[in-house]
Amino acid sequence: MSSDDWQHRVDALWADDTMDDQQRVIRMRALADDAPHPALAEFELGGALDSAGREAEAHVHYAAATAAGLDTVDTDRAARMIVQHASTLRNLGRIDEAIAMLSAAPEHPATGAAPRVFLALALHSAGRHDEALRVAIEAIEPTLPRYNRSVRAYAEALTAR
């Protein structure tokens, strides 16, 4: 199967809202067997498991995708995996790891402000509410049509102690 055909099948699987989580995992396992690179297979399978609420299993596959060199195979997926993997870690109670991963996440067009939004969630889970709110506000501030200076000042004031 060509890379383009494989990608088309992966995209179609994610777009199919008629199947349940278990069906998606089963079908993704089959697609993973045909992936053009092991890192791609691990990432997509991790995502299917994550989406199904099977975070412990997803973590294993995300770690395997990293070990297989996802960052050199597909930079868009690598950026998305930081968000997904960190969210999984947060859901597993490994909040400090999630915060560290998201804090180090580089900006990438594939994720936009998502790393900062998920960082805000992780900070909130850690009980760091003012910092979480500041990160969330700073993530959306650039999208505001006005009031930017005021919003930035209010956000800074949340953690200026």
Asked if residue 1 has pLDDT above 80, the reply is: no
Residue at 137 is within a domain: no
- Work out the average pLDDT over 73-92: 98
Residue at 55 is within a domain: yes
Residue at 115 is within a domain: no
Residue at 150 is within a domain: no
Residue at 152 is within a domain: no
User: Residue 21 belongs to what domain range?
Assistant: 3-102
Pairwise CA distance, residues 130 & 14, whole Å: 35
pTM summary value: 0.92
The contacts of residue 161 (CB under 8 Å, 6+ apart) are none
**pLDDT for the residue 161:** 72
Domains in the chain, number:
1
**pLDDT for the residue 55:** 97
- Per-residue CA distances from 124 to 99, 133, 148, 151, 158 (Å): 10, 8, 23, 20, 14
Contact at 8 Å (CB) between 110 and 80? yes
**pLDDT for the residue 147:** 96
- The CATH number assigned to the domain holding 65 equals 1.25.40.10
Pairwise CA distance, residues 75 & 15, whole Å: 21
E strand residue ranges, the chain: none
Asked if residue 137 has pLDDT above 90, the reply is: yes
Q: Is the sign of the CA dihedral 134, 53, 71, 10 positive or negative? A: negative
